[in-house]
Amino acid sequence: MFATNTSTLLPSMYAEASGRPDRLAALHFHIPVWSANVVDVMPHPGTSTETTELLVAFARRLGQIPIRMRRESIGYVFNAVYTAMNRAAITLVANDVASVEDVDRAWMAIMKTPFGPFGALDDVGIDTAWHITEYWAGVTGDVQLRTNADWLRGYVDSGRTGAKAGEGFYRYPNPAYAEPGFVEGT
């Protein structure tokens, strides 16, 4: 059995080249920053049911939560939703519609989360977000993605890549969004 942790390729792209397509599927772990044991199991059209079931069972033995995908899809499950959320949040600020703080404030107040999209991006790394956005801006030619990538690049070029650098959208170790009164805007 083969398994791949790729984030951008689909198993069907190299299923035949693997020589054993029925035993190939993607097993996608999430980056450690999320501290969550979630694994996507993504078969391609030629993956055998046995292989999928083995990977689901394998993920469970590792103490992971397996997410069963029924077909290939770029971005897996969580990442597809998370990327869409980030794209919309970044678009608002890159287009000067609202501030980083106001986007996070609204999200935190309504969704009852301890961080908003930009606070989370500081943990993921703005350099990582920029690489992904830059890649898709190039692949799709989308004008808004180009604007978003260039806006993110401003942070990367000035070394503000997020929590690990001491500064990103917020300053660390005590980011403003974690201070009392942030959500209320007082």
Binding site for a second copy (CB under 8 A): 30, 34, 36-38, 40, 65-71, 73, 77-78, 80-85, 87-89, 91-92, 95-99, 102-103, 105-107, 109-114, 117, 183-185
Q: Which is nearer to a second copy, 84 or 157 (CB)?
A: 84
Q: Which is nearer to a second copy, 1 or 77 (CB)?
A: 77
Sequence letter at residue 179: E
Q: Which is nearer to a second copy, 38 or 165 (CB)?
A: 38
**Is the CB of 1 or the CB of 106 nearer to a second copy?**
106
In the complex, the smallest distance separating the C-beta of residue 163 from a second copy, rounded to whole angstroms, is 17
In the complex, minimum distance from the CB of residue 112 to a second copy, in angstroms, rounded to a whole number: 7
CA quadruple 109, 113, 117, 119: dihedral positive or negative?
positive
Looking at residue 2, its amino acid is: F
Contact 49, 1 (CB under 8 A): no
Q: How far is the CB of 55 from a second copy (least distance, A)?
A: 14
Phi and psi at residue 14, in whole multiples of 5°?
-135, 20
* Residues 113 and 107 sit within 8 Å (Cβ to Cβ): yes
- Shortest Å distance, C-beta 95 to a second copy: 7
* Other CB atoms within 10 A of residue 31 CB: 13
Overall residue count recorded for the chain in this entry: 186
- Distance of alpha carbon 2 from alpha carbon 14, whole angstroms: 11
Greatest CA span in the chain, whole angstroms? 62
Residue closer to a second copy (CB basis): 78 or 172:
78
Closest approach, Cβ 57 to a second copy, in A, equals: 12
